[in-house]
């Protein structure tokens, strides 16, 4: 039965069936063939989605879409340009900083890729950057949207593992900064080698102050969201509600780029995105039940521990597996499949589940920029109107920077865990 279950899952995946349907359908067929009461299917699908922490997801998706339409992205880019625009590779560095800021607003890598790609790829090409390189920067920088809180991926991991979402948010900030700094260094070196110069304008403090003034309301979003969670004023779920209210007020009455007529379309689009995620989560809960019923997590723990009890080796193996999965599978699918399987191994090794959460999420972020099926790679390639494999080739050094950041986080955990562990 186990062989049939996994064979069916693999066949459906290779046939291109969406991952949510793949894991759901294979699990349902297993339940029917194993003579388990069919009612368990309904129960597991319902309980998988009936998790209070998941209520934050629709609010953050809605808030991100409201902010996309409300003019926050352009103001953040103007501020970043006033800071680093004159440096070698200025526009490329602005794009990375813009992705970091926007990630802390939207919580979505796909939204970040769409917003920043539309704005920055044509701007970089006009400045003399190769279109492939410009597209690769957006593809590799936008996945910070799943690392820097508020992040839907962190919420999903927290609900699957029972880890504190607040702790995951706290650790996600330094993790995102490490990833962003790695990209900034590599892009600066490449830009210097290729002769991509900054803008011709000298730094003027008055220009910076003006850009800062115009972007204060946009910058206030992550301050309010994360500050409220860290200070214990609101829960992560409540902060999503605050984000929606804040986005509506800023977009409608302050920046005045959000129109009443836009709201229905934004709400419907957000509802569709939420439905897709919740459908994956519900089916994953049924899939996890089948794994537990067959005692597969325990078998994996035993098998992995028989290879080595050295945490360094085990984490290396897990990273390799996750990077491989990331090239072919959706972020949510990786989380809901991998976390139940590997979390017992991590606990047995005495590794902090919060640290493991950041490691998993960074791996999924890298997967979003990895060919052949990386989500941000596909989106950036489409926006930049550049062949996917050409963008992938230009991404080589950038992906290496991301992997180096991953291994720093994995093997020098204090650099991200210090807010929780202390020095």
pLDDT (tens digit per residue) in 90-124: 888 988 988 888 777 767 787 778 778 877 888 88
Instruction: Choose between 366 and 310: higher pLDDT.
Output: 366
Overall average pLDDT of the 354-367 stretch? 95
Q: What is the pLDDT of residue 201?
A: 67
Per-residue pLDDT band for 301 (boundaries 50, 70, 90) equals low
Residue 422 has pLDDT above 70, yes or no: no
Model confidence at 172: pLDDT above 70: yes
* Both structure tokens of 239: 């902060």
**Smallest Cα–Cα separation from 374: which of 363, 386, 359?**
363
Judge whether 191 and 88 are in contact, CB under 8 Å: yes
* Nearest residue to 288 via CA among 97, 80, 110, 49: 49
Which residues lie closer than 8 Å to 104 by C-beta, 6 or more apart?
A: 148, 149, 150, 176, 221, 222, 225, 226
pLDDT by residue (tens digit) across 364-382?
999 989 987 788 888 888 8
Lowest mean pLDDT among 267-271, 291-295, 301-305, 306-310: 301-305
CA distance 97 to 142: 10
d(CA 203, CA 186): 23
- Residue 377: burial class (beta carbons within 10 Å; 0-12, 13-18, 19+): buried
pLDDT interval class at 79 (50, 70, 90) = confident
Q: Evaluate the omega torsion of the peptide bond into residue 294 and state whether it is cis, within 30 degrees of 0.
A: no
List alpha helices for 162-295, DSSP H.
165-194, 205-230, 236-249, 260-293
pLDDT given for residue 340 in this prediction: 83
pLDDT tens digits, 4-37: 887 888 888 778 787 778 888 988 999 988 888 8
Report the Cα 303 to chain-centroid distance in Å: 30
Q: Over the chain, what is the mean pLDDT?
A: 85
* pLDDT of res. 297: 65
> Is it the case that residue 423 has pLDDT exceeding 60?
no
CA distance 275 to 269: 10
- 209 contact partners, CB below 8 Å, separation of at least 6: none
At residue 223, does pLDDT exceed 80? no
Rounded distance, CA 220 to CA 201, Å?
Answer: 28
Confidence of residue 53 (pLDDT cuts 50, 70, 90): low
Q: What is the total residue count of the chain?
A: 423
Tokens representing 406?
């991953």
């Amino acid at each position: 039965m186990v062989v049939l279950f996994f064979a069916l899952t693999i066949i459906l995946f290779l046939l291109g069936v969406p991952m949510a349907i793949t894991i759901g359908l294979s699990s349902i067929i297993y339940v029917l063939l194993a003579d388990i009461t069919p009612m368990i299917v309904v129960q597991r699908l319902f309980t998988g989605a009936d998790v209070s922490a998941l209520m934050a997801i629709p609010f953050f998706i809605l808030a991100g879409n409201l902010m996309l339409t409300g003019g926050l992205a352009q103001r953040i880019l103007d501020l970043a340009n006033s800071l680093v625009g004159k440096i070698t590779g200025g526009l490329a560095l602005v794009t990375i900083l813009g992705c970091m800021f926007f990630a802390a607003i939207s919580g979505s890598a796909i939204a970040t890729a769409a917003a920043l790609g539309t704005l920055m790829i044509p701007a970089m090409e006009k400045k003399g950057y190769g279109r492939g390189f410009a597209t690769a920067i957006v593809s590799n920088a936008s996945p910070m949207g799943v690392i820097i809180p508020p992040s839907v991926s962190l919420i999903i991991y927290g609900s699957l593992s029972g880890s504190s979402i607040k702790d995951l948010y706290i650790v996600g900030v330094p993790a995102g900064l490490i990833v962003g700094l790695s990209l900034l260094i590599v892009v600066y070196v490449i830009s210097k080698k290729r002769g991509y110069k900054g803008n011709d304008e000298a730094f003027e403090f008055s220009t910076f102050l003006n850009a800062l003034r115009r972007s204060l309301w946009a910058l206030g979003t992550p301050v309010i969201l994360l500050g409220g969670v860290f200070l214990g004023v609101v829960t992560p779920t409540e902060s999503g509600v605050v984000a929606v209210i804040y986005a509506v007020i800023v977009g409608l009455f302050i920046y005045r780029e959000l129109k009443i007529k836009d709201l229905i379309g934004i709400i419907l689009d957000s509802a569709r995105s939420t439905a897709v995620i919740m459908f994956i989560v519900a089916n994953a809960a049924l899939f996890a039940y089948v794994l537990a019923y067959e005692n597969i997590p325990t078998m994996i723990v035993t098998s992995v521990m028989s290879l080595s009890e050295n945490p360094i080796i085990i984490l290396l193996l897990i990273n390799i597996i996750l990077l491989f999965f990331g090239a072919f599978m959706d972020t949510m699918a990786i989380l809901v499949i991998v976390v139940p399987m590997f979390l017992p191994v991590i606990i047995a090794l005495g590794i902090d589940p919060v640290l493991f959460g950041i490691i998993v999420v960074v791996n999924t972020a890298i997967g979003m920029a990895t060919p052949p099926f990386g989500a941000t790679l596909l989106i950036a390639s489409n926006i930049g109107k550049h062949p996917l494999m050409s963008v992938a080739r230009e991404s080589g050094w950038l992906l290496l920077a991301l992997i180096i950041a991953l291994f720093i986080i994995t093997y020098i955990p204090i650099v991200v865990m210090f807010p929780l562990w202390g020095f």
